[in-house]
Each structure stands twice: as structure tokens, then as C-alpha cells.
């Protein structure tokens, strides 16, 4: 079942279009920056963007910061929302269950597929943006005074190229985990309705609500429990030394959301009448 | 050998306040060609879905191949092939890729998972349903009939002992319907039990040996087709000399339609002796045979109109007021207007 789901994901044109769009946005931004050389001032605009003008090897971090708030979760919500509801509306849900594929197994396969999709997407963005960044901006040291081969960290001290690479790997993994909360919500909604669009929209509504509340000071009391609260904690990977506190909390919150919504999805799907 | 392929006891399903299936007791024996008939919305498809573990019964028991469903659904389903409410496939993939996905899903089928065994199963299934030479176009470019054949091929993949087919000839032309019937006859002769669900009387009449009829969620009849199609005790005569035949048979003619006469049979009389009598008297007979009840007559006797008929406030038969007021002629009224015995025909 797992293999089949992956084949279906990879043979689907939509998967590759979504990934192409995800990789396209940072490339577009890089093109503008490279041509105009007008970077945002430090402290303004998207994270890291001011730093990359002088050193392209940090561009993957900037690219991930661009797709993280909206583009990436939208694609995760679409894939997750389509997982069960898409089978239902295509009429294939009943034929898969009749093979028979156990309902729990199907749900697990859908989740694994979603994780694979997220990883492919994040890694693709990181790799293409690295290529784009190095081509467009070169790898000159960020600050000639600090010395060669060193990238300035957010904390102001230098990071060697191997340190940057390692921290980008951490970032990729952290962002992939951060998407699982939204993915689990989308999969849960996907077992509730037969409309994949409805499920995706539901997950996005949840996401937007969370984003709004995170930015709202009046909602400070619930803020630590929102799924998007620690999404930007990966920036702490680029501090020296790494600040682990928010990162750990972020991972913990995602684990709770995934556990709760997958349990709900399983409880709903295992006892549901399949009438599609 | 199991005593029965399908047994249900008191099978009931409610969706909210609507009782879709009400106390259905099915009994399908091995080797049967069983036809479940019923008007649209009578609960046939819900019964099929419950048998296959897709929908959970509100109450009652199901035994499929001797095992209780839904508890042992995953154990019995590998031996069951099914077509439920039309075929389905991934439109962007070709037919073979669709079958390959279905074949690889679920537990290992007999013959194993090797690439060769897999291809052999898929080609055999496609060959059986007449799609052996199909090219690599995606399913979305298939005609309705091709999709139906592909759905049948998917049902036949595991060489099932029981076939559960909901409207298997939907979308096929007369040639295709006949091919499917011959295919099912062939499979049945080889020992496959066929459970067919249809609202097409002709389809059931031509293929099935046992018939169940559903009406508004209840199984109102379950019997051998031969019993249902018992002689009515009358003989049909078609004669150009109908006038004289009426005179000769003196009072036994129950109905006349031009040259066609319906004659009440007497004890020990068959069409042959009656024919001899008519010919002796110098009458010409172009047709003579025992009258049997048609399945349509049986069906109309035991079932009401389908739930897809929703009469307006003026009932059936069109006593419509001269000026149709669109505000009053709306869709109120529900099915009460058309229910009851007005769909029945005299036997």
C-alpha cells in the first residue's frame, strides 16, 4: 500500500507542479535581487534576504523563509486534504477498501506519503535555491573584515561553510516537521468530507486563524499552543550557539497536533460508512 | 464447502431518520446466479455496501462465505470480486496501470507478487472482459462501455469465488451486454457464485436462476425464477380465425386482442391437445403456447414505485389545473402521492 501511494504521488502531475511553483518563487526573487541589487535593509523584509546579496550560500535559508508562511502550508493542505477525500470523489476509495486494504493501513500510507511530499518539497526548495543563490550572488564573504569563507550568523559571529550546510539540513528537517500539524488536520478533515477542496480549505482556515492569533497580542494566553507559533524558531539554528528552547517547544507542539488529529482521523475513518 | 455464500439476518440500516434497509434476510447458495431486483432507491446498493463492509449495519448479522462481516471482512474480501455503483479508475492513468495499482493493493493474491504473475493476472482479466488489446491511453479517454469493462476486469482480478455486481451492464451496448452475460455464464459454470444487483428486469430474467426483490428497504420476495415464472393456467392462441375459435371454445376465452386469445386451460390439457382440437375443426393456428407470468408482472405486484418518483400536490395522472401556478406547483408533497397500489397490474 505504501509503495502504491508513493507511485501515485510521484506519477501525479500536480505534485510536480506544486514543487515547481515552490521552487520558482525564490528563483524569481533572486532574479529581481541580482538584477537590481536593491536588497531590503537589515531587519526589514523577509528574513536573511539582506544577508544573501553578498553571500549566496545562505540563500536556501532565505528561500525557506519565503515559502514557509503560506506557500508551503497551502500545498501541504491541498495534498493532505486530497488524501482520503480525493479517493472518495474519484470513486476509488471503495475499490481500494475492497481489495481489501485495511482502513488504518490506508491512513498510515496517506500520512507517510504526505511526509514524503513535504520532504521532497523542502529539499527541492533548499537545493534549487542554493544553486540559484550561488549563481546569482556568488559566495563572497559577508563581511571582508571577518575573514574569508565565513558567513555572519544572526548573532553576529561567523559560521563556516560546513556549519551553514549542517544548519540548513537541520532547518529542512524542522520545517518538514512543522508542516505535519497542518498535514494531520488536513488528513482528518479529509476523512470527514468527500470533497478534497473542502478539506483543504478547512485546514487552511485553521492555519490562517492560527497565524492571525499568533500576531495578536490580546491572544497571548493561547499563543504558546498554536501550531504556527514556533514555525520561525528555525532561525535559532543560525545563532551561535544554537538556541534550542523554541525549537524543542515547536517540535513538541507539532507532535501533539499530529497525535490528536491522527487519532481523530483514525477514529472517524475506521467507523465511517463509505457511501461515495 | 460453505452452506451459503451470503446470509443476512434481520439486516437493518438507518441513515438518520430514514430506514434504508429494513430486516433483510438474504440467502445466496454456492453456485447461484442470484438477481436482486428493486426499484431505484429500494436499498439494493446499501445492502451490497453492507455485505462488503463499506457501510456498517445498524443491526442484524451478515455472513459472507461463512465468515461474519464486518468482523472478518479482510479475511473474506480477497475471495470476492465486486463492482459497486459503477466502475472507478484514476483518469490520468491507463487501464493497465489502474489494474496494477489495485492488484498491488491489499494482501498478496494467489500466484504471488512477482512481476510476471502480476502481468499475467492483469492481461488475463483484460482478455476476459474484451480489453486485451487496449492501448496506453489514459482512462479519462475511455468510453462508458470501456470503463465498465475495466471495472469488471478489476472485479475478476483475484479469480474470486463470489462476484457481487451492481448494475454490471450499465453503459454497454446490446453486443456488450450479451458478452458480459456470456462471460458471467462461463464463470458461473466454473463454480463462481454471481450476485447481481439490477433494476433491469430483462438482464435478471435472462441470466439469473434465483431472484430477490426489494421494495422500500424490505426484501419482499426471494424465490427461484422458475417458480416465479410459473404458468398462469392459461394458453395463448394466435389465430386468423379468432372469431370461430371463440365460438368453438365457448366461454373459455378470458381475453381477446384482435387475433390473440387467452384461453383458460382445462385439467390435463396442454397446448398440443388444444392445437389438435382447433386444427381438427379446420381452424388455422399461427401461434400457441402456455402463458407464463413475466418478471415484470411479478415485480409490479410486489413493489411500489421507486423513490425517485416524487409527485407534486396534484398526484399522478395529471389532473393539473388549467393555469399552472409555478408557486404552487413546487416540489412539496414527498412520495406519499404516488405510493400504494396504483402501480400494480392485474395478474
Question: Helix or strand or coil: residue B264?
Answer: strand
Residue A41 confidence class, pLDDT cut points 50, 70, 90: low
Q: How much is the average pLDDT of B254-265?
A: 88
pLDDT of A100 strictly over 60: yes
Q: What is the distance, to the nearest Å, from the Cα of residue B204 to the centroid of all Cα atoms in its chain?
A: 5
Please tell me the predicted confidence (pLDDT) of residue A142. Answer: 47
Question: Do the chains contact at B90 and A8, CB–CB below 8 Å?
Answer: yes
- A268 pLDDT above the threshold of 80: yes
pLDDT tens per residue across span A193-225: 999 999 999 999 999 999 999 999 998 899 989
Inter-chain touch B54–A99, beta carbons under 8 Å? no
Enter the DSSP assignment of B113. Answer: S
pLDDT at B62: 96
Considering only CB atoms, A100 lies closest to which of B88, B93, B106, namely B106
B154 touches chain A (CB under 8 A): yes
Identify the top-confidence range among B44-48, B104-108, B166-170: B44-48
* Confidence band for A147, pLDDT divided at 50, 70 and 90: very low
Instruction: Give the H/E segment covering residue B162.
Output: strand B162-166
**Higher-scoring residue by pLDDT: A37, A146:** A37
The DSSP bridge partners found for residue B7 are B27, B63
Q: Is B199 exposed, middle or buried (0-12, 13-18, 19+ CB in 10 A)?
A: middle
For residue A190, the model assigns a pLDDT of 96
Q: Which residue has the higher pLDDT, B332 or A269?
A: A269
Q: Which of A130-134, A217-221, B250-254, B332-336 has the lowest mean pLDDT?
A: B332-336
- Evaluate whether A227 touches A148 at the Cβ level (below 8 Å): no
**Residue B258 vs residue B36, higher pLDDT:** B36
Mean pLDDT computed over B216-235: 90
Per-residue pLDDT averaged across A247-260, rounded?
Answer: 94
- Per-residue pLDDT tens over the stretch B69-86: 889 998 999 999 999 988
Check pLDDT > 90 for residue A109: yes
B contact residues 60-119, partner A, Cβ 8 Å cutoff: 73-74, 77-78, 80, 82, 84-93, 101-102, 104-107
Is A124 a residue whose pLDDT tops 90? yes
| 3-state SS assignment for residue B285 | coil
pLDDT of amino acid A143 = 46
B30 touches chain A (CB under 8 A): no
Q: Which of A13, A98, A275 sits opposite B77 (nearest CB)?
A: A98
DSSP lists the bridge partners of residue B197 as: B36, B166
Q: Who wins on pLDDT, B264 or B194?
A: B194
Instruction: For residue A236, name the pLDDT band (cuts at 50, 70, 90).
Output: confident
d(CA A219, CA B1): 67
Q: Record the pTM.
A: 0.83
Q: A24 Cβ partners below 8 Å, 6+ apart? A: none
Residue A265, burial from CB neighbour count under 10 angstroms (0-12, 13-18, 19+): buried
Cell digits for A90?
474519484
Predicted interface score ipTM higher than 0.85? no
In whole angstroms, give the CA distance from residue B181 to residue B83.
15
Residue predicted with more confidence, A160 or A86? A86
**With 0-12 CB in 10 A as exposed, 13-18 as middle and 19+ as buried, what is B158?**
buried
In which element (H, E) is residue A27 found? Answer: helix A13-36
pLDDT for B339: 39
Indicate if the pLDDT at residue B253 is higher than 90. Answer: no
Average pLDDT of chain B to the nearest whole number: 85
For residue B20, which phi and psi values (nearest 5 degrees)? -80, -35
**CA B74 to chain CA mean position, Å:** 27
Calculate how close chain A gets to B179, using CA atoms only, in Å. Answer: 23
Tell me how far apart the alpha carbons of residues A174 and B296 are, in angstroms, rounded to a whole number. 67
What is the pLDDT, as a whole number, of residue A92? 94
**What pLDDT does residue B258 have?**
87
Question: Rounded CA gap, A91 and A89, in Å?
Answer: 5
Task: Using alpha carbons, list the distances in angstroms from residue B169 to A6, A44, A151, B52, B86.
Answer: 33, 66, 70, 20, 9
Q: What is the pLDDT of residue B333?
A: 40
- Report which of residues B143 and B316 the model is more confident about: B143
Amino acid at each position: 500500500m505504501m509503495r502504491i501511494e508513493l507511485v501515485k504521488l510521484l506519477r501525479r502531475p500536480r505534485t510536480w507542479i506544486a514543487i515547481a511553483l515552490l521552487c520558482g518563487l525564490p528563483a524569481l526573487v533572486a532574479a529581481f535581487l541580482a538584477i537590481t541589487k536593491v536588497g531590503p535593509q537589515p531587519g526589514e523584509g523577509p528574513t536573511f534576504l539582506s544577508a544573501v546579496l553578498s553571500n549566496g550560500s545562505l540563500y536556501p535559508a532565505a528561500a525557506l523563509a519565503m515559502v514557509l508562511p503560506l506557500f508551503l502550508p497551502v500545498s501541504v493542505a491541498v495534498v493532505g486534504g486530497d488524501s482520503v477525500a480525493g479517493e472518495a470523489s474519484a470513486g476509488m476509495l471503495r475499490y481500494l477498501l475492497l481489495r481489501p486494504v485495511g482502513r488504518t493501513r490506508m491512513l498510515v500510507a496517506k500520512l507517510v506519503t504526505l511526509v514524503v511530499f513535504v520532504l521532497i518539497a523542502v529539499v527541492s526548495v533548499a537545493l534549487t535555491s542554493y544553486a540559484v543563490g550561488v549563481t546569482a550572488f556568488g559566495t563572497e564573504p559577508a563581511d571582508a573584515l571577518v575573514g574569508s569563507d565565513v558567513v555572519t550568523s544572526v548573532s553576529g559571529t561567523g559560521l563556516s561553510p560546513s556549519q551553514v550546510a549542517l544548519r540548513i539540513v537541520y532547518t529542512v528537517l524542522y520545517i518538514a516537521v512543522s508542516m505535519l500539524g497542518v498535514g494531520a488536520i488536513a488528513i482528518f478533515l479529509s476523512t470527514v468530507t468527500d470533497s478534497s477542496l473542502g478539506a483543504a480549505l478547512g485546514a487552511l482556515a485553521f492555519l490562517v486563524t492560527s497565524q492571525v492569533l499568533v500576531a495578536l497580542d490580546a491572544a497571548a494566553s493561547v499563543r504558546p499552543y498554536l501550531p504556527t507559533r514556533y514555525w520561525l524558531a528555525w532561525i535559532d539554528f543560525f545563532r551561535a550557539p544554537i538556541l534550542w528552547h523554541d525549537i524543542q517547544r515547536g517540535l513538541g507542539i507539532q507532535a501533539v497536533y499530529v497525535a490528536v488529529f491522527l487519532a481523530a482521523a483514525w477514529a472517524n475513518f475506521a467507523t465511517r460508512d463509505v457511501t461515495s | 464447502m460453505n452452506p451459503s455464500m451470503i446470509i443476512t439476518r434481520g439486516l437493518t440500516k438507518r441513515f438518520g431518520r430514514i430506514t434504508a434497509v429494513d430486516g433483510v434476510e438474504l440467502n445466496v447458495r454456492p453456485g447461484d446466479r442470484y438477481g436482486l431486483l428493486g426499484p431505484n432507491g429500494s436499498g439494493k446498493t446499501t445492502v451490497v455496501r453492507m455485505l462488503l463492509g463499506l457501510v456498517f449495519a445498524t443491526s442484524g448479522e451478515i455472513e459472507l462465505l461463512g465468515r461474519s462481516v464486518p468482523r472478518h471482512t479482510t479475511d473474506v474480501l480477497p475471495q470476492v470480486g465486486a463492482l459497486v455503483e459503477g466502475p472507478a479508475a484514476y483518469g490520468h492513468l491507463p487501464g493497465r496501470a489502474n489494474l496494477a495499482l489495485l492488484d498491488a493493493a491489499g494482501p498478496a493474491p494467489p500466484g504471488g507478487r512477482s512481476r510476471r504473475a502480476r502481468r499475467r493476472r492483469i492481461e488475463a482479466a483484460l482478455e476476459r472482459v474484451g480489453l486485451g488489446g487496449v492501448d496506453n491511453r489514459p482512462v479519462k479517454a475511455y468510453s462508458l462501455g470501456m470503463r465498465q469493462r475495466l471495472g469488471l476486469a478489476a472485479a475478476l482480478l483475484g479469480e474470486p469465488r463470489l462476484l457481487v455486481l451492481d448494475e454490471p451492464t450499465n453503459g454497454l451496448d446490446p453486443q456488450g451486454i450479451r458478452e458480459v452475460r456470456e462471460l458471467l455464464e462461463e464463470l458461473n459454470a466454473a463454480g463462481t457464485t454471481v450476485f447481481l444487483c439490477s433494476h433491469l428486469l430483462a438482464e435478471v430474467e435472462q441470466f439469473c436462476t434465483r431472484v430477490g426483490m426489494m421494495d422500500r428497504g424490505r426484501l419482499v420476495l426471494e424465490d427461484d425464477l422458475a417458480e416465479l415464472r410459473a404458468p398462469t393456467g392459461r394458453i395463448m392462441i394466435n389465430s386468423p380465425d379468432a372469431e370461430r375459435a371463440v365460438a368453438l371454445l365457448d366461454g373459455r376465452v378470458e381475453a381477446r386482442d384482435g387475433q390473440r386469445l387467452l384461453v383458460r386451460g382445462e385439467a390435463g390439457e396442454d397446448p398440443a391437445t388444444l392445437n389438435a382440437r382447433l386444427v381438427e375443426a379446420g381452424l388455422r393456428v399461427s401461434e400457441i403456447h402456455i402463458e407464463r407470468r413475466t418478471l415484470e408482472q411479478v415485480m409490479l405486484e410486489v413493489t411500489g414505485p421507486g423513490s425517485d418518483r416524487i409527485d407534486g400536490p396534484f398526484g399522478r395522472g395529471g389532473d393539473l389545473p388549467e393555469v399552472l401556478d409555478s408557486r404552487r406547483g413546487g416540489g412539496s408533497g414527498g412520495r406519499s402521492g404516488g405510493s400504494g397500489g396504483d402501480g400494480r397490474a392485474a395478474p
